[in-house]
Amino acid sequence: GVQNTIEEGVALLDKAFGEYGINFLDTAEIYPVPTSEETQGDTDRCVCEFLKNRKRNEVILATKVAGRSPTLTYLPRGENADREEG
């Protein structure tokens, strides 16, 4: 996002889950806030990297999607979807 790198985000999640017993992660497609075209999806990429080194039963994951908005034209919806990524 805008506050740290993906690597820093993964390190923070590793510390929270590994050292402090956190097991619940709440995220959303629209994070980081404030959202921008340049950072859209960064939180998802961070969570993805974090989950690669975790057993799935160690993490309770809650996520949300953003509603349609004329100002968020860069979100992957319909005609904006990247056909290469599926």
22 to each of 14, 19, 27, how far by Cα in Å?
Answer: 10, 8, 14
* Active-site choice (10, 31, 32, 47): 31
Q: How far apart are CA 43 and CA 20, in angstroms?
A: 21
Q: How far apart are CA 43 and CA 13, in angstroms?
A: 12
Q: Is 31 a catalytic residue?
A: yes
State whether the Cα torsion 71-79-3-20 is positive or negative: positive
**Active-site residues: which are they?**
31
